[in-house]
């Protein structure tokens, strides 16, 4: 089992660069100063060393003990890789490969908002039973539970199978949680889950959650768009997808969805979207609007296409205004 973690915050990185640069500046100035005072007494040199030492110490203390609060969510990355065998005596009977790579929110200026976001993300990633575990051990406990369930569900069958059918017991789970838009107003988060349990083909899904940082609640479609928005937004999504497909040189030209493999009646706003500075991006998972082999479908809607359908003072208004002003 391999486990690692690291901070993922632009604000943290910038702060560290500034502090390190300042420390080097202090040391450089002290060195130059000492070169010009060789004729001074040892007492003067000693005093300058003391002053410089105190300055550097204060800076280090500031870095270590400064407030962790930020105007945006601070995340920390945790990762783990493991392989669990059905039988330690005979590893050829099957195994479960586990790969976890998760960004977890760990700090924000409003604790209630942070608690709400953490609760939702943890529940969606791992389920209710892992809410109380600390971040540093959470992935270990989760991987152990996955391994226990794998052995419990398959061990008895593995004893009866023939050599030809053992492949069905080589399973894998890949789970990723990642931060997207992260500013002082909105925190967008995605979860990607790949599961291969030996069936006809593996299943991969991506789900997205957009949080308003004023209260830590999820932003839903009906908070963004005006009443009765769905028919027109549906047509915008269909037209944008059709245009994207026909601009893709790797796919045949499609006159309309009646002549395609897509399930035309299912192409509509589905509540699974992420937000960025320029657009709302709807994501349709395999089987949702097309056969499995088509894979995931992503439809990117620039704000200039949909701003007329958006409510005044909706949570995305500041992004829409900035995007329209830049075009």
The hierarchical CATH code for the domain 222-326 is: 3.90.640.20
Question: CA-CA distance, 216 to 190, in Å (whole number)?
Answer: 16
pLDDT band at 23 (very low <50, low <70, confident <90, very high): low
Question: CB under 8 Å, gap of 24 or more: what pairs does 274-278 form?
Answer: 274/180, 274/181, 274/188, 274/190, 274/208, 274/210, 275/180, 275/181, 275/186, 275/188, 275/210, 275/219, 275/316, 275/319, 276/180, 276/181, 276/188, 277/181, 277/319, 277/322, 277/323, 278/302, 278/303, 278/323
Question: CA-CA distance, 209 to 121, in Å (whole number)?
Answer: 8
Q: Residues 66-90: what's their mean pLDDT?
A: 84
The hierarchical CATH code for the domain 74-218 is: 3.30.565.40
pLDDT digits (tens, 9 = 90+) for 27-62: 566 556 655 655 556 666 666 667 667 767 766 665
In the beta sheet, which residues pair with residue 85? 95
pLDDT reading at 115 higher than 50: yes
In a 3-state reduction of DSSP, which class is residue 5? strand
Q: Residues 123-131: what's their mean pLDDT?
A: 94
pTM: 0.79
pLDDT band at 88 (very low <50, low <70, confident <90, very high): confident
pLDDT digits (tens, 9 = 90+) for 245-264: 999 888 888 888 988 999 99
The DSSP secondary structure of 49-81, one letter per residue, reads HHHHHHHHHHHHHHHHHS----SS-EEEEEEEE
Question: How do the domains of the chain map onto residue ranges?
Answer: 8-65, 74-218, 222-326
Give me the pLDDT at residue 10, please: 43
């Amino acid at each position: 089992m391999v486990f690692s973690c690291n901070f993922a915050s632009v604000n943290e990185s910038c702060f560290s660069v500034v502090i390190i640069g300042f420390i080097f500046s202090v040391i450089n100035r002290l060195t130059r100063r000492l070169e010009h005072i060789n004729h001074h007494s040892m007492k003067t040199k000693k005093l300058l060393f003391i002053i410089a030492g105190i300055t550097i110490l204060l800076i280090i203390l500031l870095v270590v003990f400064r407030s962790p609060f930020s105007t945006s969510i601070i995340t920390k990355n945790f990762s783990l890789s493991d392989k669990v065998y059905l039988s330690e005596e005979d590893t050829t009977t099957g195994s479960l490969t586990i790969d976890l790579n998760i960004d977890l929110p760990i700090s924000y200026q409003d604790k209630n908002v942070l608690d709400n976001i953490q609760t939702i993300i943890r529940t969606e990633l791992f389920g209710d039973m892992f809410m109380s575990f600390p971040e540093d051990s959470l992935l270990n406990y989760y991987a152990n539970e996955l391994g226990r369930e794998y052995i419990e569900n398959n061990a008895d069958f593995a004893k009866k199978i023939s050599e030809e059918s053992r492949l069905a017991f080589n399973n894998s789970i890949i789970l990723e949680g990642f931060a997207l838009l992260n500013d002082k107003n909105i925190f967008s988060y995605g979860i990607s889950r790949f599961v291969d349990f030996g069936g006809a083909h593996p299943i991969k899904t991506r789900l997205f959650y957009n949080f308003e940082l004023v209260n830590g609640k999820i932003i839903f479609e009906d908070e963004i768009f005006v009443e009765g928005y769905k028919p027109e937004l549906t047509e915008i999504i269909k037209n944008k997808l059709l245009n994207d497909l026909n601009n893709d040189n790797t796919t045949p030209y499609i006159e309309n969805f009646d002549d395609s493999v897509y399930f035309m009646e299912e192409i509509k706003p589905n509540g699974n979207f992420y937000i960025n500075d320029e657009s709302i991006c709807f994501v349709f998972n395999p089987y949702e609007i097309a056969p499995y082999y088509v894979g995931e479908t992503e439809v990117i809607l620039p704000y200039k296409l949909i701003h007329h359908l958006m409510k005044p003072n909706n949570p995305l208004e500041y992004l829409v205004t900035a995007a329209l002003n830049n075009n």
